Amino acid sequence: MRDFNRGGSRGSDRGGPGGGRRFGGGGDFRREMHPAVCSNCGKNCEVPFRPTGEKPVFCNECFRKDSGDSRPREKQGPNYQSQFDALNQKLDTILNLISAQEKPKAKKKAVVVK
């Protein structure tokens, strides 16, 4: 078996100190491109995957417009902080009620018979 912690036979493909292929260009690696028609503007283009027709395909220009800097990178989800605060407040109330009901029970003293 390969020793994956030491690189094995594919160590240079990972872009580590040994060089090899890296994502984002460099080297002589070229992806196979496939012809397509942009779903947004209708231009003929090439994409690095085989289009199946199940999902829209975009040319470089439309893809950059859609996922470029004009749109925020982080998607804003719902803000649950107010709901968390309300739940914490209710839990604190419940815990206070429980601790108020619990009274320390007096321990029975052991009777020593001489």
- Of the listed ranges 37-41, 60-64, 68-72, 87-91, the least confidently predicted one is 68-72
Torsion of CA 61, 64, 66, 69, to 10 degrees: -140
Q: Is this prediction's pTM over 0.85?
A: no
Name the residue range of residue 37's domain: 26-69
Say whether pLDDT at 82 is over 60.
Answer: yes
Where residue 28 falls among pLDDT bands split at 50, 70, 90? low
Residue at 85 is within a domain? no
Instruction: Give the count of domains, the chain.
Output: 1
Report which of residues 76 and 66 the model is more confident about: 66
Residue at 55 is within a domain? yes
Residue at 53 is within a domain? yes
What is the per-residue pLDDT for 94? Answer: 94
3-state secondary structure of 35: strand
